Structure 1
Amino acid sequence: MTNDTIVDRLRSNALAHPDKLALVCGPQRLTWAEFDARTNRVSNALLENGLKKGDNIAVISANSVAYAELFIGILRAGGCVTPLSSMASPDALQKMLTDCGATAIFVAEQYFGLVEGFITSMSLSRFAIDFTHPDFMDYEATLAQAPETDPMIALEMSDAFNLIYSSGTTGTPKGILHNHQMRAAQMDRVTPNGYDNNARTLLSTPLYSNTTIVAFLPTLFGGSTVYLMPKFDARGYLEIVAAEKITHTMLVPVQYKRIMDVPDFDSFDLSSMQIKFSTSAPLRAALKADVLARFPGKLVEYYGLTEGGGVTVLVADEHPTKLHTVGQLAPGNDICLIDGEGNEVPQGEVGEICGRGPTMMAGYFGRDDLTADYIWRNSAGDIYFRSGDMGSFDADGFLMLSDRKKDMIISGGLNIYANDLEMVLLQDVDVTDAAVIGVPSDAWGETPLGMVVLREGASRGAEDILAQANSTLGKSQRLSAVEIRETLPRSTIGKILKKDLRAPYWEKENT
């Protein structure tokens, strides 16, 4: 593993090739020298405003050059980057800021409405990234007054790096703390994945997501170029790949689906693409096969958690018969599968995935109790993180996901994995998206309900979709009904928001 912090390496990269492109977002293009100078200005501005080492500095913004500058500038000043989800409610955002004790926040105009109702009552420095407000300092004006010399703050591997709040659309937020050691460990994948070979990495998921960060940081660490999209759209994505000769990308499954569905996809020159990554949600086997057939470059799927722990990797083009899996253990990682009592399950059986490896969080911020609940220990006393995901290993050591533990449906005392039912629904030629949830049932406690999005021009109805699915499902798995929806609610990294889907049915039950 590298002995350099990411900040150390970025400093070296700017000295080594100052005129090389570091960052591109729309019409804005920064060389490494320019990026280095502006991140130094961010650092010095924060230090002049009283930042102390380890302070949490919050950011809420769409992807932008400023966001990238802030991310690295906060680290360079010795702060902890606290990127906030733009999908969170104002109440959840206020709880996050209170929980972490942020000493400053940087806000983009697009999301000002989310914090407007409470932010001026909080004791923290406020900066407006791209607008003016009497209660906020102007970002560009502040940077203009700060020196561009490197503050050379000494950093230790044990120092806080970032604080990412999980989900957080509603309820009590939970901060996942990563330190410099954890992020440095992830840099072992830089050379094997070619991030240090003049990579041009296109990122279109938000920078508050670990999905984005795990490609953003290696590209910069490798001295290459990051291209940011403020907002994803499939055609715009393909246009950038073709025009900028993109070599690397990180996408989530819903983005792959939208890209492959662009009617004239095959007309774009994508020959520059060397390697495409996928994570955050399962990439369906049929979609993997389509990507392999039509989208140039390698396809690599990662399974892992923001908290860290066990990681698996599927190099899809090398294992075409394993597309229904999320691959094999990454080097240095281990996964055990356990039952409800915490005992390991036999080979081939489904259990909760517990993992350990070189990239594990420092803990839930300020919540030792939650961190303790997250830990499972094997017979030797080794610490594993509980994922809440259910899965099994095949005979070749490839991990197959079944479902989230909390999404498992218990009907008549039997466990039903929604993922199994969703795969059946998605095999229907008229279905383009699907989700299965458990809804209340007098007879069974709960019963599976399917929700589907139909392809344009489909003439079949819900009863037809239901009949076809149930004809292939086992008797204990059968859907009680199918509903047709125009869309399914998803997070900005493509995860179906099942909590939102379930709420109306269970709220009725509880009233």
Structure 2
Amino acid sequence: MTQISAQGVSRVIPKVIVGETLVPLAPQIAKHAARRPDKACITDETTTLSWGAFGNLVARVAGRLQGLGVGPGSMVASLAENSAAHLALYLGVVHAGACMVPLPFSATAEALIKMRRDCAASLLFTSVSYRDTADRLCAGTVIDLADLEAWVGDAAPVPPVEVAEDDLFDMIYSSGTTGTPKGIVHDHRFRMRQFSRTSAYKLEEDGVLMMSTPLYSNTTLVAVLGCLARGASLVSMARFDTLRFLDLSETYCATHAMLVPVQFMRLMGEPRFDDFDLSAYICKMSTSAPLPGLLIAQVMKRWPGNIVEFYGMTEGGPSTVLDCAAFPEKWDTVGQPSPGVDMRVIDEAGSELPHGSYGEIVGQSGAMMPGYHNNPDKTRDATWVSPDGGHFIRTGDMGRFDDEGFLHLLDRKKDMIISGGFNIYAADLEAVLRQHPEVADVAVIAVPSSDWGETPLGLVVTRSADCDTEAIREWANAQLGKTQRLSAVERRNDLPRSEIGKILKRELRAPYWPGTEK
């Protein structure tokens, strides 16, 4: 098995925080399994595992892995949709002291081959849906998750391996649309410090969390691992579907859900939404992209319970929280920095900007990655060092803090439009277009201009096929500044998105910038 470390990376986060108690996840799962063995732990498309059964399977998976020499320093990969077996494998790997690597099934085969080569995992677990792709990744053994019980066989359950806070917990790969995907390493300290976030959304052991985003996404893991740490229950969806989500929420009296903005948008657009009893909900969480204020207003009006929006990075560092019930006047922001988080704004030269200025957001916290796997150069590129020697994660996001400390996000730095020497933030234009009654979804991108270098183009999904896009453009431009005005508005049937709902603007730009990386 491959022994690994975050090569060339100096750990920059504080190893000790006064008053902090860090408890590894594996012993917590064993405790919940022993204390409430008959309570439901996870329900997926085909089965329900009690806490006792889940805890036993996790410990037996760990025993089987240890029999193969898998332990601290080893990596085990998976390529599969959500299921009880997939989650048991994930926690079994952690229980054995090894590092879990859930590969993104949305990536291309070429990118997945690079990821497999980079992590050098000798065991790859897959589902029937992705078996053909898994076989193409080469090297090592491929095991069907559907046969997990048979693979575990008569392996005896083992106690959790005692881990150090610096030991690796999991590794999440970036999308890998260009170049070599980056493996974002998380150690046990990183994950243990995230569990405290559950207090922000009031998830306790009697709660029921809907799991409808992929297990390879940190969006999912922040909620799911916190749920398990609390001893709550999970309802797992292999694929998100609005009616199925609503039906499961009603059937299992779901109290919590972690969703991305496009899921909220599709649920609000579901004609049968109001037919379901969602009264058990306490809190819905949102992350991965800013949740538009107009959408927050719809959800708060029609769906019982609060919304808590999180902003952060898979790499850790910056983190903000918006309690939508407490701050209705701040729905155009992503909230205030979480406790213990230091966030600042810097300019192109890396100099810190005064409060209220627009620039790139950087952040430092107790939960930060030790680095990108095997990539110290990329790790250094992602780090900003303050004048006092503090190490901060660079987000690549542009924004500013208002006088009350709420973060107003604009665009990814690479998505900013520079027209005639003026910086144009697509988010500002999208916010205006989103208010038009015919616009259901929107993205604004830069396209070439002989006069201005580049100019903004609006791409809209409309509620009717025969709407006048020129009229939409004129309506929007009447509300925009002279330098912001849209050169055109084009209709699209849909907008390309990642598995966690982020609009893939690079794909939208590609036809207009052939042969470039714009």
TM beyond 0.5: yes
Name the structure 2 match of 1:333.
Answer: 341
Aligned amino acid, residue 335 of structure 1: M
For residues 107-156 of structure 1, the C-alpha deviation after alignment (integer angstroms, 9 at most, x for no partner) is 1111123333342xx2x2221223xxxxxxx5332112322x22432211
Extract unaligned runs of 5+ from structure 1. Answer: 131-137
- 1:433-465 residue CA offsets vs partner (Å, 9 max, x unmatched): 01111112222111111111001x353222122
The verdict on how the C-alpha distance between 1:491 and 1:349 changes in structure 2, with shifts beyond 3 A counting, is same
Alignment of 1:448-487 (within 5 A): 448-455=456-463, 457=464, 459-487=466-494
Equivalent residue number for residue 129 of structure 1: 145
1:179 aligns with 2:187: yes
Aligned equivalent of 1:55: 74
CA drift at 1:53: 1.6
Instruction: Report if aligned partners of 1:451, 1:484 keep a CA contact under 8 Å in 2.
Output: yes
Aligned residue type for 2:489: V
Q: Which 10-residue stretch deviates more, 167-176 or 86-95?
A: 167-176
Aligned partner letter, 1:503: A
* Equivalent pair of 2:201/2:308 in contact (CA under 8 Å): no
CA shift in 2, pair 1:445/1:218, >3 Å: same
Greater RCO structure (CA 8 Å; 6+ sep)? 2
Any residues of structure 2 matched to 1:153-302 within 5 Å, and which?
153-302=161-310
Counterpart of 2:239 in 1: which secondary structure?
A: coil
One of 116, 134, 149 as aligned partner of 2:135: 116
Aligned to 1:133: none
**Counterpart residue number, 1:323:** 331
Native 8 Å contact 2:135 2:142 kept in 1: no
1:170, CA displacement in angstroms?
A: 4.3
Q: Provide the TM-score with structure 1 as the length reference.
A: 0.95
**2:186 partner SS:** strand
Q: Which amino acid aligns with 1:323?
A: W
Pair 1:113–1:467, CA change in 2 (3 A): farther
Residue 54 of structure 1: how far off its partner (Å): 1.8
1:5 alignment partner, one of 24, 30, 47: 24
RMSD value, Cα = 1.4
Check the 8 A contact 2:168/2:185 in 1, yes or no: yes
What CA distance in whole angstroms lies between the structure 2 residues aligned with 1:50 and 1:188? 33
**Deviation of residue 509 (structure 1)?**
6.7
**Structure 1 counterpart SS, 2:490:** strand
Scaled by the length of structure 2, what TM-score is found? Answer: 0.94
Q: 2:401 maps to what in 1?
A: 393
Q: 1:462 to 1:225 in 2, by over 3 A?
A: same
Q: Pick closer, same or farther for the CA change 1:222–1:231 going to 2, 3 Å.
A: same
1:69 match:
88
Distance 1:285 1:106, change over 3 A: same
* Pair 1:493-2:500 in alignment: yes
Residue aligning to 2:14: none
**CA–CA distance in structure 1, aligned partners of residues 320 and 41 of structure 2:** 30
Counterpart of 1:33 (choices 52, 63, 72) is: 52
**Contact 1:87 1:169 survives alignment (8 Å):** no
Which segment drifts farther, 439-448 or 382-391?
A: 439-448
Deviation at 1:355?
0.4
Question: Cα 1:191–1:318, aligned 2, differ >3 Å: closer, same or farther?
Answer: closer
Counterpart amino acid of 1:116? D
Q: Percent identity?
A: 46
CA positional deviation for 1:508: 5.8
Deviation at 1:506, TM superposition (A): 1.1
Deviation at 1:240, TM superposition (A): 1.0
Count of residue pairs the alignment pairs up: 498
Which region of structure 1 is more displaced relative to structure 2, 205-214 or 438-447?
438-447
Give the one of 105, 108, 111 matched to 2:124: 105
Question: Are the counterparts in 1 of residues 134 and 142 from structure 2 also a CA contact under 8 Å?
Answer: no
Instruction: Indicate whether 1:142 and 2:161 are aligned.
Output: no
1:2/1:187 contact within 8 Å kept: no
Q: Deviations over 1:403-456 (max 9, x none)?
A: 10010011111111111111111111101001111112222111111111001x
- The residue type paired with residue 78 of structure 1 is G
- Listed as ranges, the gaps of 5+ residues in structure 2 are 1-19
Change (3 A) 1:213 1:18: same
| Alpha-carbon distance in structure 2 between the residues aligned to 1:449 and 1:497 | 15
1:447 has 2:455 as partner: yes
